[in-house]
Every structure is written in structure tokens, then in C-alpha cells.
Structure 1
Amino acid sequence: MSRLDSMMRRLAAQRDGLNWAAEQIADLPGDIADLGLGNGRTYDHLREILPDRRIWVIDRVLQCHPSCTPPEADFLQGEAEPMLRKLAQSGARLALAHYDFGFGIKEKDVAEAARLSPLIAATMQPGGLIISGQPLVGFEQLKGPDTIAPDRYMFYRA
């Protein structure tokens, strides 16, 4: 599979997973988190499909497209661990989190996801969902939508 085809498959899976998760949490109170803003595409999609929810964003740096800049009050800039602690201390409880932190080195990304999992758990509403491109620990793994190949994205319940 070409890198272009792989990217297209990943983006379609991400969109399908977010849409599925938004339906699943329709009756669950709580905020949303985009953990790893990047260029802002996912954040923009979350704003569109969950317009009435507060969306927290964590990233090391703010370097997204200008149209995808989160409000200053909802953007926690810095390393993941202290920002997740800050989010938990704020009292926010998440109905949905999208985990997209990473360095681009699989072993390092998997280790970071495992290390951050308890901090993510501390922010989650009971029954909340986490969508992740990396394996997380300490959550109930769910089967996501049928349109997504196994292990392309992982779905968890807090």
C-alpha cells in the first residue's frame, strides 16, 4: 500500500471513529479533549460534530492552521504529563478524548501512551470513550465501527 493510500485510510478511520464516538456519547455529560492538536484538522472536526461541548486541547506548541486555533482558555500548552494533571485539577470530566500524542517512533509512542494512560483516566467521565492510534492501558477496549480495520484505531471505555 502506498503512503498516500495509507494516509487516506488512516484519515477515513479517524473521521469514522470520531463520528461513531460522538453518537455513542450523545447522552453522556462531559467535555471533549483533543490530545495532540497538530495542524488542527481533528479539532476542527470535533467542533463540527460536537458544537455544544467544550473541547480542551493539549499540545507542546500551537502550530495549527489559523482557522483551527482553540480559545486560549481551552488550550493547555506544554508537555502532556503536566497538562493532563492540570486538566484533571481543573475539575473537567471528559465524555470523549482523542489521543494523538506521539514522536513518530513506534516504541517511544507506545511507551508514552502506557505512561499517560492513568493521567487520562483521571480526567474521564465514567463510561467516557477514548479513541487512540496507540494502545492505552487500564481501559476496556471496545470494537469500533465496522468501517475501520482492526488495530487501525483503538477504542476504549473509561
Structure 2
Amino acid sequence: MSRLDSMLRRLTAQRDGLNWAVDQITDTSGDILDMGLGNGRTYDHLREILPDRRIWVMDRVLQCHPSSTPPAEDFLQGEAVPMLKKLAAGGPKIALAHYDFGRGIKQDDVAEAAMLSPLIAQVMLPGGLLISGQPLVGFQQITGPETIAPDRYLFYRA
């Protein structure tokens, strides 16, 4: 599979997974967490499909498209460990988290996701939903939408 086809497959799975997740959390209160702002495409989609939810966004640097810049009070800038600890200080509040950290080196990205998983668990509401391109540990893996290949995107309950 070409890198272009792989990217298209990933982005489609990401969009379909987020859209599916909205239906899963309609009866749940709580905030949203987007880990890995990047260009801001996912954040932009989240605020469109969840306009009444607070969306926390986390990344090392703010370098997104100007139209996808989160409000300063919802942007946690810095390394993931201190930012997750900062968010956790107020207690669990996240109903839906999207994990999109990574540098594109699979072994390193998997190790980072495993290391961050306990900190992510601290911000999740019981029963909260996680969507991730990397395997997370300590959560119950669930089946996502049928349109997404099981190895393409992963779905978990806190």
C-alpha cells in the first residue's frame, strides 16, 4: 500500500471513528480531549460534531492552521506528561479522548502510548471512550464501527 493510500485510510478511519463516538457519548456528560493538535484538522472536526462540549487540546507546540486554533484556556502546550498531570489535577472529566501523538516511528510511538496510558486513565470518566491510532494499555478494548479495519484504529472504554 502506498503511503498516500495509507494516509487516506488512516484519515477516513479517524473521521468515521470520531463520528461513531459522538453517538456513543450522547447520554454522557464530560469534556473532550484531543491529544496531538498538529495542523488542527481533527480539532476542527471535533468542534463541528460536538459544538456544545468543551474540547481540551494538547500538543508540544501551537502550529495549527489559524482557523483551527483552540481557545488559549483550552490549549495545554508542552510535553504530554506534565500536561496530563495538569488536566488530572481537577479530577476525571473526559468523556471522549482522541490519542494522536506520535512521530511516525512505530516502535517509539507504541512505547510512548503505553507510558502515557496510566496518566490518560486519570483524566477519563468511568466508561469514557478513547479512540487511538496506537495501542493503549489498561483500558477495555471494544469494537468500533464496522467500516474500520481492526488494525487501523483502536477503540477503548475507560
Q: Normalising to structure 1: TM-score of the pair?
A: 0.98
2:59 is aligned to 59
The alpha carbon displacement at 1:49 in A equals 0.4
Aligned to 1:77: 77
Structure 2 residue ranges without an equivalent (≥5): none
Could you say what secondary structure the match of 1:111 adopts? Answer: helix
1:138-149 correspondence to structure 2 within 5 Å: 138-149=138-149
Alignment pair present for 1:118 and 2:118: yes
Counterpart code for 2:140: E
The question of whether the paired residues in 2 share the 8 Å contact of 1:31 and 1:92 is answered with no
Asked if structure 2 preserves the Cα contact closer than 8 Å seen for 1:81 and 1:116, the reply is yes
Structure 1: segments with no counterpart, 5+ residues:
none
Alpha carbons 2:141, 2:154 under 8 Å: kept = yes
Alignment partners' CA distance in 2, 1:33 and 1:127 = 15
Contact 1:130–1:156 (Cα < 8 Å) also in 2: yes
What is the alpha-carbon distance in structure 1 between the residues aligned to residue 2 and residue 106 of structure 2? 19
Cα-to-partner distance string for 1:56-79 (whole Å, 9 max, x where unaligned): 000000000000000000000000
The structure 1 segments of at least 4 consecutive aligned residues displaced by more than 6 Å after TM superposition are none
Give RMSD over aligned pairs.
Answer: 0.8
1:91 CA drift (Å): 3.5
Aligned-partner Cα distance in 2 for 1:109–1:6: 17
> Deviation digits for residues 91-144 of structure 1, max 9, x if unmatched?
351000000011221111111100100100000011100000000000000000
Corresponding residue for residue 18 of structure 1: 18
The separation in 1 between residues aligned to 2:63 and 2:100, in whole angstroms, is 15
Instruction: Write out aligned runs for 1:92-111 (5 A).
Output: 93-111=93-111
Percent identity for Structure 1 against Structure 2: 79
Measured in 2, the distance between the counterparts of 1:143 and 1:39 equals 28
Q: TM-score, normalised by structure 2?
A: 0.98
Matched residue, 1:30? 30
Q: Distance in 2 between matches of 1:62 and 1:70?
A: 9
> Structure 1, residues 17-54: CA drift from partner, whole Å, max 9, x if none?
00001110001110000000000000000000000000
Q: Answer yes or no: is the 8 Å Cα contact 2:134–2:153 preserved in 1.
A: yes
